[in-house]
Structure 1
Amino acid sequence: MNGRQVLLDHIGQREAAALMVDGLLHDLLIDGDAPRPGTVYRAVTDRPVPGQGGIFLKTPDGAAYLRGVKGIGAGETLQVQVTGYAEPGKAIPVTHKLLFKSRYAIVTPDAPGLNLSRSIKDDDVRDTLMEIAHDAMAGSDMGLILRSVAADAAPDDIAEDVAAMRSLAEEVAADAGSGPEVLLEGDGPHVLAWRDWVAPADVVTQAGCFEDQGVLDAVDAACGARQILPGGASLFIEQTRALVAVDVNTGADGSFAAGLRANLACARALPAALRVRGLGGQITIDLAPMPKKERRSFEAALRAALRDDDVDTVMAGWTPLGHFELQRKRARLPLAEVMA
């Protein structure tokens, strides 16, 4: 099927959301057992790690680790927010800079000021949105960012969204309890799909739609290491404890430009392949052979593909052996782990 589809269903007992683009699985969100990103804790400081500039915290879900803090001793109470999923055997990553994020608005308690997405260029639209922001945040010391999708939204919908996030932020900020506690659960897949997949799409919510629309078959394929690329090339994506290894193969193409074609196809397909598989951390790509002068072409294609990716990824560059490395936020649970 051509076009974009957002499908909301369950895989087993787990809530899940899938984004299909022209019949291909473009993104996948599945609820797991780990604390969701966005969860807010009242945490108690435990053990400083001075050499690393961080501190371990006690939370209801186990140990958490907070970076970049100074002057905090053991036994203090902090509000922190989960930023991603922990590596196996490691503490939950958290930040003390809370964000309350919805479809149109992000309330920032620790960053005062009213701001609009830079992608909103129309001056009249910006003026209208700033009026809404001033009215909705009147009397508050908290900050607000209106997201790019607000440019095409109804003013009442934006105001309602801002009011809801402001109320939620104020409720959390007013907490005066003691001891580890969950103050706010992070959003599940269905809410995340509504919040972040904002491009026009057909939304399907009927039970069993994953099977009817081929999502389950695509998930089964993503659980394997091999992914076919256009032109007959392929990727093998395999997770180890230390890193994610990506191997690019040219297939049956024996022409001089086969390596470059395969590598460019890899660049275009890799962000979605990693999203669907829920893979992050250090990514090492063993590319097909190509002339060194073509490396810039590969980098440009990969940079363009990552521009449309909502998972923070750093292009670390080339290794002496000619591999290309990425550092990617652990924003999803690994698909193989969730489906086990």
Structure 2
Amino acid sequence: MPWGATVTTAIYASVLPFETRVAVREDDRLVELHVEREKERSIVGNLYKGRVSRVLPGMQAAFVDVGLERDAFLYVDDVGEALEEEDVDLQEVRAQTPIQDLLRPGQEILVQITRELGPSKGPRASSHITLPGRFLVFIPGSSHVGVSRRITDQKERERLRALLGELPKPGGVIVRTAGEGRSLADFEQDLAFLQATWEHIRQRWDTTAAPALLYSELDLLLRVARDVARDNVREFWVDDPGAFRRVVEFFQRVQPELVSTVKLYTRTTPMFFAFGLEEEISKALSPWVDLPSGGSLVIEQTEALVVIDVNTGRYAKGQDLEETVFHINLEAAKEIPRQLRLRNLGGIVVVDFIDMEDPEHRNALLEAFRKELARDRARTLLGPVGPFGLVQLTRKRTSASLWKTLTTPCPFCQGLGRIKSPETVALDIYRLVLDRAQELGARVFAVRAHPEVVKLLKGDLAPLLQTLEQGHGLRVELAPGSDPHPAHFELIPKA
């Protein structure tokens, strides 16, 4: 049975002049949301003719100028990163040659972007090129032949390997998950297109000066059509006539049986509202997630890692504690992988499951968690359940999370999530008046602060002003300020 065949998928693509959003539902639950804006189009998968700008022997890495605002970062052993999506074991031996013997400043090199630009980092690149098609991944300059590990049926794997042996060379190939059950003719057509693409890239290399973009990966709409849409797609809704035609033409070329699933949305109500997607997207930006039986998840993202806390909530009342905890943990094990996909969370993820005493429960929890993670196209590595219920996993990250894509740091808290309380600000004012009086010799100060702070200094904390006046001979004239920030204030010496 093809991978994912028991799951029914619906895809919704909303296309505006400056933004494309694609939502994916599995069994009527939102599991993925992809957003691409015109000025922030993904560069993952792009091929560049670059020029080495620096070689760092101590890090065994190099920086490559590819014409972007920051140089790309290239590790010496950056092998086949684009293959990780397909979970394929590479058998090729990694080069052991030091990077200073491989690259030199000024040298031209072909690289492929494997991770987006970060706020303070350049993109990550690989010099091992892979071109993904509908059913195959083509690896120019390699002889590697493989089958996605998501295809688990041994007879099917053997059949596919036999078909791969009949494909024209040169170049290595990997059968993608979507290739399960496909014919030799399907593979030949896919490979012919990929080989022609590679030949075009080679021609551009010969005629283009570095640094330069040689090949752009498909835009979001067609990437989803290629990578997400499989035989289990029930419907593929598109709300723009031009985009609708592009998807139809794409499927006509690569998989005609999916053309009938593509539907043009024409109602006046925005499509994401009509299908209830906007509400689900809003929930995906909240750190709190409710579980069916009353428990909950709290998801916190930091620069270093993602922490997910599992709470029992109201479910625990009046029931056997161990069974209650086990049940809530199982619900969390099913929901967390969905949230990782939906929020596009990557890197290190630490899950604080509720601690359980029964080792059989721990093993069952881990197995359930592993089963749900298998639905994810991104590669995940799962560790064991720790003694305190902690489970660590890693999820391949190639682009920004949904949270970073759709939000910006709060101008009040600067992304910290907390600001100083009115009491703290009032006490800061008190101390600063004393300091400035000593420094400037002023005896009268005008203070402009948030109305809540002014109210506090005239009410519960009025003794602070009395102390300044009676104990130090200082007078403070309070008034509400124009700055809406609750923690900002002005202190103006008057005399």
**For residue 178 of structure 2, what is the amino acid of its counterpart?**
V
Aligned-partner SS, 2:109: strand
**3-state SS of paired residue (2:73):** strand
Q: 1:307 to 1:319 in 2, by over 3 A?
A: same
Corresponding residue for residue 336 of structure 1: 403
Change (3 A) 1:127 1:315: closer
Residue 276 (1) aligns with residue 342 (2): yes
Q: Which amino acid aligns with 1:223?
A: L
Q: Which runs of 5+ in 2 are unaligned?
A: 1-6, 78-98, 241-269, 408-495
Q: How does 1:165-244 map to 2 (within 5 A)?
A: 165-174=194-203, 175-176=205-206, 177-197=208-228, 198-201=230-233, 202-207=235-240, 208-244=270-306
Q: Which residue in the other structure is 1:64 paired with? A: 72
What whole-Å deviation, never above 9, does each CA across 1:212-264 have from its counterpart, x for those lacking one? 21222211110111112222221111211221111111110113122222222
Distance 1:126 1:154, change over 3 A: closer
Match of 2:380 among 296, 309, 313: 313
Shift of 1:65: 0.8
For the 8 Å contact 2:36–2:42, the answer to whether it is kept is no
| Cα distance in structure 1, aligned partners of 2:191 and 2:134 | 10
Is the Cα contact below 8 Å between 2:378 and 2:395 reproduced in 1? yes
Paired residues of 2:147 and 2:157 also in contact (CA < 8 A): no
**2:107 — aligned with what?**
76
Q: TM-score, normalised by structure 2?
A: 0.62
Distance 2:122 2:161 in 1: 44
Deviation of the 1:16 alpha carbon: 2.0
8 Å contact from structure 1 (residues 64, 91) kept in 2? yes
Q: Secondary structure at the match of 1:52?
A: coil
Q: Helix, strand or coil for the counterpart of 2:24?
A: strand
2:147, 2:174 within 8 Å by CA — same for their partners in 1? yes
Higher strand share: 1
Question: Bigger shift: 145-154 or 267-276?
Answer: 145-154
- 2:46 matches 1:39: yes
1:55 to 52, 56, 62: 62
Match of 2:315 in 1: 253
Contact persistence 2:354–2:389 (CA under 8 A): no
How far is 1:170 from its partner? 2.1
Q: Which piece of structure 1 moves more, 230-239 or 315-324? A: 315-324
Question: d(CA) in 2 for partners of 1:310 and 1:296?
Answer: 24
Unaligned runs of 5+ in 1: none
Q: Does residue 20 of the first structure (1) align with residue 21 of the second (2)?
A: no
Q: Deviations over 1:110-145 (max 9, x none)?
A: 3225545563634895488447x52xx3xx421222
Q: Which moved more, 1:241-250 or 1:187-196?
A: 187-196
Q: 1:10 is matched with which residue: 11, 15, 33?
A: 15
Q: Tell me how far apart the structure 2 counterparts of residues 22 and 54 of structure 1 sit (CA, whole Å).
A: 44
Measured in 2, the distance between the counterparts of 1:281 and 1:45 equals 27
- 1:130-171 CA-to-partner distances (Å, cap 9, x unmatched) read 47x52xx3xx42122233433444655443322111111222
Q: Contact 1:278/1:331 (CA < 8 Å) preserved in 2?
A: no
Q: With CA pairs under 8 Å and 6+ residues apart, which has the higher RCO, 1 or 2?
A: 1
Larger radius of gyration between Structure 1 and Structure 2? 2
How far residue 307 of structure 1 moved from its aligned partner, in angstroms, is: 1.5
User: Equivalences for 1:146-157 in 2 at 5 Å?
Assistant: 146-153=175-182, 156-157=185-186
Structure 1 Cα separation of the partners of residues 144 and 349 of structure 2: 37
CA 1:291 to 1:9, structure 2 compared with 1: closer, same or farther past 3 Å? same
Q: How many residues align?
A: 334
Distance 2:158 2:380 in 1: 34
2:128 to 86, 90, 97: 97
- Paired AA for residue 7 in structure 1: Y
Q: Secondary structure at the match of 1:332?
A: coil
For the Cα contact (< 8 Å) 1:36–1:187, is it kept in 2?
no
Letter in 1 for 2:401: P
Assess, with a 3 A threshold, how the Cα gap between structure 1 residues 57 and 193 changes in structure 2: closer, same or farther.
same
Give 1:161's aligned residue: 190
Cα separation, 2, equivalents of 1:123 and 1:221: 40
Q: Deviations over 1:274-311 (max 9, x none)?
A: 11112111111122232262322222111111222111
Does structure 2 retain, via aligned residues, the 8 Å contact 1:275–1:332?
A: no
Per-residue CA distance 1:180-215 (angstroms, 9 max, x = gap): 111112232212221222241111113443222122
Q: Assess if the C-alpha contact under 8 Å between 2:52 and 2:62 holds in 1.
A: yes
Aligned letter for 1:108?
A: I
**Secondary structure of residue in 2 paired with 1:173:** helix
More helix by share: 2
CA–CA distance in structure 2, aligned partners of residues 97 and 286 of structure 1: 37
